[in-house]
Chains A and B, each alone.
Chain A
């Protein structure tokens, strides 16, 4: 059997496409042939490690190294650090909880003011800009930082600036350093487009969302959603509606419910 044939069999085994009798044969060979067993196990670890939804657990590894680590986790210095971490965590969570409570108080007050304004002073038909405010959220956009050995420092900075609302800084990073990544990373395009939208660079935001929509990336439908929000923000009801109708015809389920609601509201 050539190495390529052997590789194809191992591959089929992990992809679940190997016939039952061949599975039995493969497992029998694993118990007899050390080299083959090692090759199968390495494939298994690679499949589990390099797949985002899986994890490669260590079961039968070098005991010496394992014991060394176990001992280090038990020693005095580690236990002291563990205690320091516990205290730091409590202090941080306590402080954060206070901040959240204050923020919630101000948000509630602001919300009541908005409800009174909308309910009493404004007509019932919402303007495109109001719809934009209602539907605009960035809480569900994916992180800029993907799993990988070398995480991009600049992307982490960009995400932090984005969260802080410092959109000029976000654009500085994403436009100057990420030219090669931009073509392959939907999150980068999203963060760039939204930042441009926030800075009222509407033409640029339009181009960026189009770039995402025309890509073959899985998150391309997100581009359509934010393009529709862009039109709402600038008060272009007709184009917002056209983009939402386009979203309705795609196979993606992204924001399907919200798309329907917005179309009804428009």
Chain B
């Protein structure tokens, strides 16, 4: 199963590197409907889904060309996640268009896609590290970073008090931060 998955992923990645229009056509038929459904359900139009899908494929191709990497899930799932994140980025864009000085930031398309690529790499690093800590820590931190109140965390996860929950968050967060910082990738992804 594992090796079949890897072969499947390699076919898709190679198709992107080699401009294989036949396999790219298959990607559209197999994966685009799901991306379109997601975008339409989240305040977008079909044309947004088309744009996101194209950008995600370009992003994967460019990343793979820069440094080949292994996709541990299916290519389909990986592409879908990349599309979802690009759409999240698009939906939150209005918050960052204007800088602190109130001036519109002007970027060309390639600059913007380069930034989106680094952001995706950073998201993958954080998600991977969150997935690697204990199940208990993962649960409490997922709620914490989603800004769920301590009152609800206590109630949902059965802690004795908010103080106990706070201590747990502190310990888990420290562990997460330590593992993120210890990863070489973080140095080139952190904000300076």
Chain A positions near chain B (C-beta within 8 angstroms): 3-4, 7-8, 11, 15, 38-39, 41-42, 44-47, 49-62, 65-70, 72-74, 77-78, 80-82, 84-89, 91-93, 140, 143, 145, 147-153, 156, 159-160, 216
Q: Contact between A50 and B190 (Cβ–Cβ < 8 Å)?
A: no
Contact B58 A85 (CB under 8 A): yes
Q: How far is the CB of A7 from chain B (nearest CB, A)?
A: 6
Q: Closest Cβ of chain B: how far from A224's Cβ, in Å?
A: 20
The CA of A45 and the CA of B170, in the complex, are separated in Å by: 17
Which chain A positions have C-beta within 8 A of B81? 147-149, 151
On whether the beta carbons of B190 and A73 are closer than 8 Å, the reply is no
B137, chain A: closest CB distance, angstroms: 13
In the complex, B103 has a CB within 8 A of chain A: no
Which of A46, A56, A57, A149 has the most CB atoms of chain B within a 10 A radius of its CB? A149
CB–CB A88/B92 < 8 A: no
Task: Give 5 closest A-B pairs by Cβ, nearest first.
Answer: A151-B77, A149-B127, A69-B114, A50-B145, A92-B28
Q: Contacts A38-B190, A55-B85 given: A85-B57 contact, CB under 8 Å? A: yes
Chain B interface size, under 10 / 10 to 19 / 20 to 34 / 35 or more: 35 or more
> With A61-B189, A73-B62, A84-B21 as given contacts, are A89 and B174 in contact (CB-CB < 8 Å)?
no
Q: Mark B11-46, 1 if CB is under 8 A from A, else 0.
A: 000001001010011011100101001100100000
CB-based contact A45/B191 at 8 Å: yes
A66: nearest chain-B partner, CB-CB: B114
Q: Are A150 and B131 in touch, CB under 8 angstroms? A: yes
* Cα–Cα distance between A44 and B189 once the two chains are bound (Å): 14
- State the CA gap A239–B133 with chains docked (Å): 45
Interface residues of B (CB under 8 A from A): 5, 16, 19, 21, 24-25, 27-29, 32, 34, 37-38, 41, 50, 53-54, 57-58, 61-62, 65-66, 72-74, 76-78, 80-81, 84-85, 88-89, 91-92, 96, 109-111, 113-115, 117-119, 122-124, 126-128, 130-131, 141-142, 145-147, 156, 166-167, 169-170, 173-174, 176-177, 180-181, 187-192
A56 near B118 with CB under 8 A, answer no
Q: How far is the CB of B180 from chain A (nearest CB, A)?
A: 7
Question: A55-B85, A151-B73, A151-B78 provided; 7 other pairs, C-beta below 8 A?
Answer: A7-B170, A8-B166, A42-B181, A52-B146, A57-B115, A72-B65, A82-B54
Residues B61 and A81 in contact, CB atoms below 8 Å apart: yes
Docked complex Cα distance between A15 and B16 (Å): 42
Expressed in whole angstroms, the minimum distance between the Cβ of B158 and any Cβ of chain A is: 11
Q: Report 18 cross-chain contacts, Cβ distance below 8 Å, ordered by A residue.
A: A4-B170, A42-B190, A46-B173, A50-B142, A51-B146, A54-B92, A61-B188, A61-B190, A66-B115, A69-B66, A72-B62, A72-B66, A87-B21, A88-B21, A89-B28, A147-B84, A151-B73, A156-B34
Asked if residues B73 and A153 are in contact (CB atoms below 8 Å), the reply is yes
Give, as a whole number of angstroms, the nearest-CB distance from A54 to chain B: 6
Contacts of A78 in B (CB 8 A): 58, 61-62
| A152-B77 contact given A46-B126, A69-B118, A81-B19, CB 8 Å threshold | yes
Assess whether B177 is in contact with A89, with CB atoms less than 8 Å apart: no
Nearest B residue (CB) for A92 = B28
Contact (Cβ within 8 A) A46 B176: yes
User: Cβ of A45: which chain B residues have Cβ within 8 Å of it?
Assistant: 122, 126, 190-191
Taken together as a complex, chains A and B put the C-alpha atoms of A80 and B76 apart, in Å, by 23
Partner of B117, one of A69, A85, A92, A150: A69
Contact of B77 among A49, A86, A145 (CB under 8 A): A145
Question: Is B191 in contact with A61, judged by CB distance below 8 angstroms?
Answer: yes
Task: Please tell me if the beta carbons of B80 and A149 are within 8 angstroms of each other in the complex.
Answer: no
